[in-house]
Amino acid sequence: MRTVVLDGERLTAAWVVLAAGAWSPRVADDVGLDLPIAPRAPQMLLTDPGPPVLAPTVSGIGRRLSLKQLPTGEYFIGGGWPSAIDGAGTPAMTCRVIPENVAGSWEVASTVFPPLAPRRVARSWCGLEGEVIDGVPLIGPAVGLDGLYVATGFSGHGFQLAPAVGRAVADVLIGKGDDALAELQPSRFMRLDPEQVRAFKMDPVSRPLGTLG
């Protein structure tokens, strides 16, 4: 049985699931678990609405771009352009959009898709993500800590994966799971060089994350 303290209340359970996103490494540190995860803060842009002209989602090879038009006419622009992270690794960790990256994202999107040019950026924001060193989520029992299950490090794809992952993890913990999550287990990093992990965590940009949303 594992015991956690939440808002001063002690809770005991057969399993505790660590699913704290970008804050997971800090929580893991408290129990001596070193997760190969670094915080990242990709930005998103939303334009004013325009006529419906784009049906598919447009991505770029060699460019930071993810572009789609919403049913309401606005364009949703991502692609992993980074924002600034304040207080990395602390409970108060936040992110700030970088104006130069807003301009860069807009330039790429409007160049690739010229009908976007008449629109204007109505809103820009960022979100904190936990990125695993290989870009693949960590889902499975923590190594060396009985009763702790990890489900974190979705590397920019958490919104898409979370419903299926939640169902799969719940099945595993009640004994109904299969081997679908086997390749995602944290044990795959047992032989990873600690210096390599440290360097990854210190890298402020790394590879581009997938888009949020």
If one counts the domains in the chain, the total is: 2
Based on the fold, state whether residues 115 and 169 are members of the same structural domain. Answer: no
> What pLDDT shows up at residue 191?
81
Based on the fold, state whether residues 176 and 196 are members of the same structural domain. Answer: yes
pTM: 0.81
pLDDT grade for 5, boundaries at 50, 70 and 90: confident
The pair phi, psi for residue 97, each rounded to 5°, is: -65, 140
Inform me whether the pLDDT recorded for 114 exceeds 90.
yes
Q: Is residue 213 part of a domain?
A: no
- Please compute the mean of the pLDDT values over residues 173-186 and round it to a whole number: 86
- Please compute the mean of the pLDDT values over residues 112-121 and round it to a whole number: 97
Residue 7's domain is classified under what CATH number?
A: 3.50.50.60
pLDDT grade for 193, boundaries at 50, 70 and 90: confident
- Please compute the mean of the pLDDT values over residues 46-62 and round it to a whole number: 95
Evaluate whether 18 touches 35 at the Cβ level (below 8 Å).
no
> What pLDDT shows up at residue 208?
46
Cα(141)–Cα(146) distance, integer angstroms: 8
The H or E element that residue 171 is part of is helix 158-173
Evaluate whether 190 touches 142 at the Cβ level (below 8 Å).
no
Q: Is residue 70 part of a domain?
A: yes
Instruction: Single out the residue in 95, 127, 159 at which a domain terminates.
Output: 127
Instruction: Single out the residue in 100, 127, 154 at which a domain terminates.
Output: 127
Inform me whether the pLDDT recorded for 128 exceeds 90.
yes
Based on the fold, state whether residues 167 and 93 are members of the same structural domain. Answer: no
Based on the fold, state whether residues 59 and 30 are members of the same structural domain. Answer: no
Based on the fold, state whether residues 47 and 25 are members of the same structural domain. Answer: no
Percent of the chain with pLDDT over 70: 95
- Please compute the mean of the pLDDT values over residues 99-108 and round it to a whole number: 97
* 178-187 per-residue burial string, b: 16 or more CB within 10 A, e: under 16: eeebeebbbe
Of 76-80, 125-129, 200-204, the range with the lowest mean pLDDT is: 200-204
> What pLDDT shows up at residue 205?
57
Based on the fold, state whether residues 47 and 92 are members of the same structural domain. Answer: yes
Instruction: Single out the residue in 84, 99, 127 at which a domain terminates.
Output: 127
Domain that holds residue 108: 42-127
- Please compute the mean of the pLDDT values over residues 100-129 and round it to a whole number: 96
- Please compute the mean of the pLDDT values over residues 51-76 and round it to a whole number: 95
Read off the pLDDT of residues 134-178 as tens digits, 9 standing for 90 and up. 989 999 999 989 999 999 999 877 777 889 999 999 999 999 877
Based on the fold, state whether residues 120 and 150 are members of the same structural domain. Answer: no
Based on the fold, state whether residues 48 and 114 are members of the same structural domain. Answer: yes
- Token pair 């990256």 is at which residue? 101
Question: In the predicted model, what is the mean pLDDT of the chain?
Answer: 89
What count of residues does the chain have? 213
pLDDT grade for 207, boundaries at 50, 70 and 90: very low
Q: Is residue 187 part of a domain?
A: yes
Q: Is residue 208 part of a domain?
A: no
Bridge pairing between strands 75-78 and 43-47: antiparallel
